[in-house]
Chain A
Amino acid sequence: MKGNGLKRYRLRFNQHYRLWLAGGLLFFCACAWGQPSPVGGTLGAVGSDTMAGLMLRWGEALHHRYPDITLQFQAGGSASAPTALVAGTTRFGPMSRPITERERQQFIERYGYPPHELSVARDALLLVVHRHNPLASLTRKQADAIFSTSLDCGGPQPIRRWEDLLPADQWPYGKIALHGRNLASGTHRLFQEQALCNGQFRRDISEHPGSSAVIAAVGESPNAMGYAGYNHLNPMVRALPLINDKGTAITPSVATIQDDTYPLSRDLYLYVNLPPGERLPPAEQAFLELIFSDEGQQIVQAAGFVPLPQTQRSPLLLGD
């Protein structure tokens, strides 16, 4: 009996020991060899968070067209695209803002030529209110007066209450509850630049960690106003027309965003690393062709963004 017991315990100890050893070995091996996987029939892209849905949908469609090509996309925010391009870990860098001069210089320093800039879709920042809100439109000064404390766009005084915008019996909801994005997001920065004329945000804006949270919050409360990207728009909320410099109210729509008449519209970019005089390999070329094809631009719309106007959908053959 006794001997049995001892044997059993020893066995058990040994088992544990081996398990630990094996675990440890596995761990270190994987550590040492865990390199980025070599590309074989896969396209890599690194960049914007905003465009993640778009890139992945394009990837799905590409895979559908050419079953042996797959796209691997790593969303790390727009700032990660130039870094990866310079490092040469990717050829495609999707960005929701244009590349800065510093980033471009870094790229030129490394390769001797600038990255190729392609506009692949259009997007806009929207001012949204509750879906039943009767407010017809806003001027840019009013938008600034609502969201900022600094009034850098030239409004006369801050706007705090719905009575300042609408007759009280039409929308008796008192103070405007403001919703926006958190400090770290690109949307926050962009709104500050474009809508607030680089002014200061008010402090009592609810800062949500995501655009769809903004839409959800605005859709639930009649006294709310917020800003969000065009691709998050849904019928819970209404996007306010903005009055441009000429005094006409422009409703954000596919047409007005396409031709840039809506004041807060912007391009979405894809930066490509391509030496002058060279052609892209076939897989990469196929991806670009897909993007600018009707199917690719339909995917843009399916992802909630605005497709490029017909004139910009050039059948693009880089390096020709």
Chain B
Amino acid sequence: MRWSFRPSRISAMGSLLWPWLCAASVALSLLMLATLLTLLATRGLGHFWPAALEEATLHSGETVIGQPVRETPLPNTAGIERLYFTGNRDIDGASWRWVALDDIDTVAVPDDLIRLERSPWGDFIGRLEAVESEGQRFEDAAAWAFVARALTLPDSQRPNAQLQLTAANGHTITQPLSGVTLFQAPNAMSWGQKVVVWSERIWQFLSEGPRAANTGGGVWPAIFGTVLMVILMSVIVTPFGVLAAIYLNEIAHQNRLTRLVRIGVRNLAGVPSIVYGVFGLGVFVYGIGGSIDSWFFEDALPSPTFGTGGLLWASLTLALLTLPVVIVATEEGLARIPDAQREGAVALGATRLEMLTRVVLPMATPAMLTGVILAVARAAGEVAPLMLVGVAKLAPQMPVDGEFPYLHLERKFMHLGYHLFDTAFHGEDVQAAIPLVFATALLLVLIVLVLNLTAIFLRHYLRRQRGNEC
């Protein structure tokens, strides 16, 4: 081999600067990742923070009360406009208001502004005038104390009361206490109180079901559905993946065909997930599900029982999708075990089964585990195939409940990733949904990252532990 190094000035310059461009690529990738994560974290967690309410007086004399959301330049003219979340859909017909900054005279942050969450009209933002309960009338501090105390009681014990509320435009409404789910005066809160409210709302987000048709409330059914689907999937994929890996590595003759099969399996990991979804829809849902329906659930036809997307088919499809991951990881683990171990076992009189179950498999367990965790991480983030085989926009029935047989494999279920897609693209008011979407995205990313990190650490730790064996 001959190398020629021409000492020209340009190539010297290049060879000095190229490494910097390469270094910048690393820095840029890290920067993009960090930006994305920071964006998700701030927007996702910031949504739960009890933000200050502003009272803006316009030059026209009108007042706008609301939470400032964002500012954008006006089109076609100079100037900036600000978006306020004003609530009060029942009074104004909309819960958002754009105000040009030039129109604003003064902005104040008075302590007596309140924010209510109520059904069916969503948020109210304005002032509390008085509370009437059983003939009594409370005003000012007494009214506040009354509401604060009443809301700590469980639903059934709450007093029958009417809140007198005033909105920004002077419009007064009467709101029964029974419809109120949250009452706060964010401007009057101290930092500590805000932190408490913030963490309470995050907890609500994690533990409650969606309310008001996905525009509020939490994502608990989606978390539950995701986890349940992933568990079912790993129950299916682990035995089959391991079986296939053992067959490929320990039993099949190592010839050209086996090599081809191995390459094929490896490549399946690169086949787009939507293709698996198509397969799941065609074979599981329409094929197998349709047949099950015509054999066992004929009385329910034409409305399908198993012949439509559901938990079982989604798990099976994702199991197929992640099968290559488990096979490849297990095979790598098996290949790493020195032949001496196997020969030793056989030499001591073990049959192949004994050799496999007592020597080889225990040694390959970490690899299997890593494979399964990676499979779970991949499955938790997949959405495209699920759109074809079984997620629902809203599934008020959980797939697990008190009714026999407790686990309903034919039911549709909610999934975090699809919930995200759905609220961002199908929701009623996209502007209101975006903060929730950010929170959901953050949650999904966290789940997937934690799973991946577990796999990485597990692999790292076990490799180091067995380092002397290999």
Binding site for B on A (CB under 8 A): 6, 9-10, 12-13, 20, 23, 26-27, 29-38, 46, 49, 52-54, 56-57, 59-61, 72-76, 80, 83-84, 86-87, 89, 130-132, 170-173, 208-213, 215-216, 219, 222, 231-232, 234-236, 298-299, 301-304
Contacts and interface: CB of A to CB of B under 8 A. Distances in A.
Nearest to B408: A34
A56 B213 contact: yes
A107 to B, nearest CB: 12
A87 B300 contact: yes
Interface in B102-133: 119-122
A216 B423 CA distance: 12
B239 A53 contact: no
A222 B81 CA distance: 14
State the majority secondary structure of interface residues on A.
Answer: helix
Interface in B370-401: 392-394, 396-397, 401
16 contacts: A9-B358, A12-B362, A23-B235, A34-B405, A35-B305, A52-B394, A53-B212, A57-B212, A83-B302, A83-B303, A209-B426, A222-B75, A234-B94, A236-B431, A303-B428, A304-B428
A81 to B, nearest CB: 10
B352 interface: no
Given A212-B429, A216-B431, 10 more contacts: A30-B405, A30-B406, A30-B409, A53-B428, A75-B392, A132-B76, A173-B75, A212-B425, A234-B95, A235-B97
A212 B430 contact: yes
B348 to A, nearest CB: 10
A37 to B, nearest CB: 5
Contact of A232 (B76, B95, B312, B429): B429
Contact of B394 (A13, A35, A56): A56
A125 to B, nearest CB: 16
B360 to A, nearest CB: 11
Contacts, number: 157
Contacts of B122: 302
Interface in B62-108: 74-76, 89-90, 94-98
A231 B394 CA distance: 18
A304 B214 CA distance: 14
Interface of B: 74-76, 89-90, 94-98, 119-122, 211-215, 235, 239, 296-297, 300-303, 305-306, 308, 312, 357-359, 361-362, 392-394, 396-397, 401, 403-410, 412, 421-422, 424-431, 433
B94 to A, nearest CB: 5
A244 to B, nearest CB: 23
A222 B76 contact: yes
B213 A210 contact: no
B213 A52 contact: yes
Given A86-B302, A235-B94, A302-B89, A30 B428 contact: no
Contacts of A171: 76
Given A31-B312, A208-B425, A236-B431, A57 B120 contact: yes
Which among B74, B97, B426 has the highest number of chain A CB atoms within 10 Å? B426
A232 B424 CA distance: 12
Nearest to A231: B428
